[in-house]
Structures are given as C-alpha cells and as structure tokens.
C-alpha cells in the first residue's frame, strides 16, 4: 500500500546514500563515531557492577562509619549488591534500627522524666536550671531521629550511588582511579574519637554537677556519639569532594596545554556538572538531619554561654561554671567544623573551577 511516509523515508535514505557516495571516507568515520557514542552511552546507562565495585574508593574508605551508623541505628542503608546501595523500610538493617532505637527510647524516656523532675524542684541556683535545660535539649535529637534521618534514607542511598557511578566515570574519562589517601585511617579514627569524646564529656558533667547521677550519663553516650559521628560524616563528605574538585581542576589545567583541548574539556565539564549534582543531592539527603542538628547546637551554645557568663558576673568564676564553658566550646567546635568544611568544598567546586575556565575562555 502506498504511503507518503514511505516515500519520505525513501527520499531521506537516498539523500543519505548520495552523501556517502560523494564522501566515502566520511561514511566510515560517521559509523565509527556513532558506534563509539552508542557504546559510551550504553556503558553509562548500564555500567558493569564489577567495575562499579572496583573503583568505588569512597565506599571502601568510609565503610567503617557506614557500619557504625548501622550498628547505632542512625541510618539503616545497606549494600545490597556490587556497586549498589539501597534503603528499605523492611530490611535486616532497618529491623535492627527499630529494635535498638526502641530499647534506647525506653531508657532515654526514663532519664528524660527524671531530669524534668529535677528541674521542677525549687531552691536551685540559676546555673543549675541552665544545666537542666541543656541536658533536656540534648535528648531531643534522639526523639527526632526517625523524622530527621530515616525519612531521608532513600535520598541518602541515591547520593551514595551517585558517588559510585561518578568514580567509575572519572576513571573512564581521566584514566586515573580516585584514591583517597589517609581518608580511611581518618574515618576509623573519627569513629573511635566520636564515642570517646561523648563518654568523656558526660563523665566530666557527672563530676561537675551535683544532680547528675551516673546512670543518667548512659542515656547521653549514644546521643553525643551520634552528634559527633554526623559531624565526622560531614567532614568526610566535604573533604572527599574538595579533593576530587582539586584533582579535576588539575586535569583541566593539563588539558589546556594540549593542542586541541575542546573534546577533553567537554568531558571534564560533564564530570564537574556531575560533581555539582552530587553536592545538591548531598543537601537533599541530609537537609532535615543537619538542619535540626545546627539549630539544636546553636541554641545549646547560646544557652550555655548565657548561663556561664551570667553566673560569672553574679557570683564570680567557680569550678562549677567549667561545665557550661565545656558545653559551649564543644558545640562551637562542631559548628565550626561543619561551616568550615562546607565553605572549603564550595570554594573548590565553585569559584576556583569557574576562574580556571574563565581564564581559558579569555585566552582563546
């Protein structure tokens, strides 16, 4: 049956053949270019799981912190296959998180009630009320954990998978695998330091406060360790991204020295765009968690500083005010690490890379 579409297709086909007859050399080049592009596109859409696992340096380097979060029930994401991270509401890691969180909530609830009763008792000094308010507020992250962390679990899994795919693509473009030197040792050290710091701070408060009972301190160990681990996670993510941005900038500088750098710059631009998307996904994945985190830490810092200065001005400095000063210094340290690392990572990914590309554009 005759169809105008058939005639149109024949016309296109004939014109294509005529062009190929006029330029037989270009015909072979077009086939090679198209087949290479098709292979590259298929490789990006369906990468080899073995290759993803092999070049996923970030996962292998920071695995200790991921396992610690699973044990603590903070973020029950899991490695479901080679090069694939998933989050499910019903999984072995999630069930463990529900179990450990329920047990901790019972104990934390008992201590929370005890701390409220201590605040309601009359005849206390002003700094003792400040202490009571602070240590009630420190318990809040535990109760907000399911809302702040678990509800964003799928976004965290997407972020982890983006890291995995990016590292393979980086190797395919640059020919050099991403290796985070010393970051593995830093991660192990931060896992230990997070718990040790939390325990030492609470033991110091036990000796500095008259109404802080020893068994109360056990309700705070995992909460302070969680806050420290979240700060460590932010430090590791920003440090890794900053390093990759620096390596990518050096690769761009090397590409600019080549005779025809346009093709290489296009590949590096794609890598930079992927890295920028990962930074955006980092914000989506952890926005709720770190939003609540920063608000709590900032308010605790303000209350502790106010209570410490008020008592010093009214009654002079005493050993008891050291506890409030310690809490304020601890909170300010966490805030400084988060803000400082975010600033350096953003600077390396933004202005520095932009200035490099602007320099090339102005020269050409």
- Among 231-240, 279-288, 349-358, the minimum mean pLDDT is found in 349-358
Can you give the pLDDT at residue 36? 38
pLDDT at 351: 66
SS3 of 138, please?
coil
Interatomic CA distance for residues 254 and 261, integer angstroms:
9
In whole angstroms, give the CA distance from residue 26 to residue 35: 14
More confident residue, 26 or 197: 197
Stretch 132-161: mean pLDDT, rounded? 90
In terms of C-beta density within 10 A (0-12 exposed, 13-18 middle, 19 or more buried), how is residue 190 classed?
buried
Q: What is the pLDDT at residue 359?
A: 59
CA–CA separation, 206 and 204 (whole Å): 5
pLDDT of residue 158: 93
Candidate from 148-152, 252-256, 281-285 with smallest mean pLDDT: 252-256
Q: Out of 104-108, 140-144, 154-158, 351-355, which region has the weakest mean confidence (pLDDT)? A: 351-355
Tell me the pLDDT of the chain averaged across its residues.
Answer: 81
Q: Tens of pLDDT along 188-225?
A: 999 999 999 999 999 988 888 877 888 999 999 999 99
**The pLDDT of residue 250 is above 50:** yes
Do 229 and 72 contact (CB within 8 A), yes or no? yes
Does the pLDDT at position 336 exceed 50?
Answer: yes
Q: Are 287 and 234 in contact (CB under 8 A)?
A: no
Residue 15: the pLDDT is 42
- Please give the backbone phi and psi of residue 81, each rounded to the nearest 5 degrees, phi first: -170, 180
**Does position 187 have pLDDT exceeding 90, yes or no?**
yes
DSSP letter assigned to residue 150:
G
Distance CA 23, CA 37 (A): 21
Which pLDDT score is estimated for 306? 85
Q: Which residues pair with 86 in a beta bridge?
A: 78
Backbone angles phi, psi at 78, to 5 degrees: -145, 160
How many Cα atoms sit within 13 Å of 9 on the Cβ side? 5
Are 307 and 113 contacting, i.e. CB atoms less than 8 angstroms apart? no
In this prediction, residue 124 carries a pLDDT of 72
12 pLDDT exceeds 80?
no
Name which of 221, 178, 175 is nearest 196 in CA terms. 221
Work out the angle at residue 181's Cα, subtended by the Cα atoms of residues 178 and 183, and round it to the nearest 5 degrees.
105
Across the range 36-62, mean pLDDT stands at 71
């Amino acid at each position: 049956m005759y169809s105008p579409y058939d005639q149109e297709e024949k016309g296109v086909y004939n014109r294509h053949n005529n062009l190929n007859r006029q330029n037989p050399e270009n015909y072979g080049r077009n086939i090679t270019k198209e087949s290479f592009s098709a292979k590259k596109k298929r490789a990006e859409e369906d990468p080899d799981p073995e290759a993803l696992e092999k070049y996923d340096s970030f996962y292998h380097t920071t695995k200790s912190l991921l396992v610690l979060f699973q044990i603590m029930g903070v973020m029950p994401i899991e490695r479901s296959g080679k090069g694939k991270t998933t989050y499910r509401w019903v999984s072995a890691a999630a069930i463990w998180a529900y179990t450990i969180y329920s047990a901790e909530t019972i104990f934390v609830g008992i201590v929370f009630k005890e701390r409220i009763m201590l605040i309601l008792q009359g005849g206390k000094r002003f700094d003792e009320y400040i202490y009571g308010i602070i240590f009630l507020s420190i318990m809040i992250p535990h109760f907000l954990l399911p809302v702040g962390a678990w509800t964003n679990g799928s976004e965290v899994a997407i972020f982890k998978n983006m890291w995995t795919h990016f590292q393979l693509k980086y190797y395919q473009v640059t020919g050099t695998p991403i290796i985070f030197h010393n970051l593995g040792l830093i991660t192990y050290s931060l896992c230990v330091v997070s718990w040790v710091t939390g325990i030492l701070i609470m033991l110091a408060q036990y000796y500095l406060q008259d109404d802080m009972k020893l068994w109360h301190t056990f309700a705070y160990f995992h909460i302070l360790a969680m806050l420290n681990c979240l700060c460590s996670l932010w430090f590791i993510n920003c440090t890794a991204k900053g390093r990759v941005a620096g390596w990518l900038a050096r690769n761009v500088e090397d590409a600019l020295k080549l005779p025809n750098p346009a093709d290489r710059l296009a590949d590096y631009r794609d890598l930079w765009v992927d890295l920028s998307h990962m930074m955006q996904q980092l914000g989506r994945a952890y926005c709720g968690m770190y939003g609540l985190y920063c608000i709590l830490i900032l308010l605790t810092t303000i209350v502790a500083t106010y209570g410490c200065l008020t008592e010093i001005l009214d009654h002079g400095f005493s050993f008891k005010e050291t506890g409030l000063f310690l809490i304020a210094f601890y909170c300010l340290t966490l805030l400084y690490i988060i803000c400082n690392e975010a600033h350096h990572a953003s600077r390396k990914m933004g202005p520095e890379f932009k200035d490099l590309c602007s320099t090339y554009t102005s020269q050409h």
